[in-house]
Structure 1
Amino acid sequence: MELLPRLNILDWPDAIAVALTVVLFLAIGWAVEHPPKNRPSVSLLMADYRREWMRHFVTRQQKILDGTVITSLRQATQFFISGTMLALGAGLALVGNPEQLILVANDLNLQAQAVVVEVKVIFVLLFLANAFLKFIWSHRLFGYCAVLMGSMPNSEDPVAYHRAGQAAELNVTAARSYNRGLRSVYFALAALGWLLGPWTLMLTTLLTAGALIRREFASESRAIVMQRVE
């Protein structure tokens, strides 16, 4: 019960800033995964390429390239698993050390109590924890996909294209988890702005949301992916 009075310094701008961050995080995730039919996101466009990849995989004679690609995808998730794990460990160590939190507050010229800085750090850690779990699941799904690719029979076998479809959907699902993890990392960086105050959090959140929307719906890379041979 003693915690509530100590959090009185968190005023309504803090509540609005936190709510804005959470709402935009969820809204952008929904928009990326359920875009308008006339304006597909990069993630959705790449899902079609992943399915096409598995269809070509069935008839490709040399499959070394495919194994290399799936390995590189798993290595990417491993990198972020390690990175988020280190960040989580550092954040938890900071939360468990009130003296360090006071030093952080002093370095940032904040007039906040240690418990307030602690709450703000925990807010960042929630995004990092979500990213960590998403990356782990993505890594596992890419592994499942690799197993299905390895079990795929020759193209003459009627099971081949069914197995290719299964591998493709696992690949798409793994990529979806990977993208969700990346969005969590982006918003964890945005959440760091709260250490400088609610208005800074609103600004960093809006900038992050704008960057994600632009990259998914209005980027040069999207225009390149959209180019198809007629």
Structure 2
Amino acid sequence: MNRLTQLTPLDGAALLLLWGSWLVIGWRIEHPSAKHPSVTIIMTDYRREWMRQMITRDPRIFDASILSNLRQGTAFFGSGCMIAIGGVLAVIGNTEALQGVAMDLTIEGGPTLIWQLKLLVVVAFLTHGFLKFVWANRLFGYCAVVMAAVPNDITHSSAESRALQAAEINIRAAWNFNRGLRSIYYALGTLAWLLGPYALLVSTSLVAFLIWQREFASRPREILLVDIPTKES
């Protein structure tokens, strides 16, 4: 416990900002104001429209291809998280190598326990991301089954309701995928803590700004919000 005293109040403040930023920005992205929606919320309408259009599309090879690509993305990032977790845990377990890294990054290496704790925060974010990617992968699988149960006849009594069910499952899968991505962003930002609390404060601010900018002030968001005129119009 005496070794933990080497964590300064500034370290605590930086860690609090890290976790608080991660929670707040995630909540804001999924619960934005009606006048300024995030890209995540804007895309929900497109996903619902996708499923409505799918009802009369025959064959549905195009829809199956899109869903397959989405599942591949979750599998790729899930596998990447597993590899990253294994690599970080290997570094944590090798105290000699970790102490050498500490000496290279700082004037005084400090207790190895401190460095292990810092890397455990990285592992926590990566683990959260892995779990979200795995769940997103399963939800996309559920979505595929529901999509297959949607009748091609628009007049069928259950056609639109099942299509909307598929859309809602697809939306939940996408949200979990986005949560996993945010965890990876913050895991990378947390690595700056190895350089000290000031570096963590800066990296957390940069990560939060980057995520906010892409969700609320990016060019793709502007494109999604406007109807691009066609040549005929």
TM-score between the two structures when normalised by the length of structure 1: 0.96
Shift of 1:229: 6.3
Q: Secondary structure of 2:5's match?
A: coil
Task: Show structure 2 runs of 5+ residues with no match.
Answer: none
Mean CA deviation greater in 121-130 or 99-108: 99-108
Shift of 1:69: 0.1
Alpha-carbon distance in structure 2 between the residues aligned to 1:61 and 1:119: 55
- The one-letter code of the counterpart of 2:225 is M
Shift of 1:228: 2.8
Alpha-carbon distance in structure 2 between the residues aligned to 1:157 and 1:110: 72
Shift of 1:174: 0.1
Alpha-carbon distance in structure 2 between the residues aligned to 1:131 and 1:119: 19
- Runs of at least 4 residues of structure 1 off by over 3 A? none
CA contact (8 A) 2:57 2:152 kept: no
Match of residue 128 from structure 1: 126
Shift of 1:107: 2.2
Match of residue 38 from structure 1: 35
Match of residue 199 from structure 2: 200
Q: After superposition, where does 1:6-45 map in structure 2 within 5 Å? A: 6-45=3-42
Match of residue 69 from structure 1: 66
Calculate percent identity across the aligned residue pairs: 47
CA contact (8 A) 1:110 1:196 kept: no
Match of residue 140 from structure 1: 138
- The one-letter code of the counterpart of 2:65 is T
Shift of 1:110: 4.7
Match of residue 157 from structure 1: 156
Task: Show structure 1 runs of 5+ residues with no match.
Answer: none
- The one-letter code of the counterpart of 1:118 is Q
Q: After superposition, where does 1:77-226 map in structure 2 within 5 Å? A: 77-111=74-108, 112-155=110-153, 156-226=155-225
Tell me how many residue pairs correspond in the alignment: 227
Structure 1 residues 17-41: Cα deviation after superposition (integer angstroms, max 9, x where no partner) = 0000000000000110000000000
Mean CA deviation greater in 90-99 or 38-47: 90-99
Shift of 1:62: 2.6
Mean CA deviation greater in 72-81 or 151-160: 151-160
Alpha-carbon distance in structure 1 between the residues aligned to 2:34 and 2:106: 48
TM-score between the two structures when normalised by the length of structure 2: 0.95
Alpha-carbon distance in structure 1 between the residues aligned to 2:228 and 2:144: 29
Alpha-carbon distance in structure 2 between the residues aligned to 1:188 and 1:213: 17
Shift of 1:151: 1.6
Alpha-carbon distance in structure 1 between the residues aligned to 2:227 and 2:175: 23
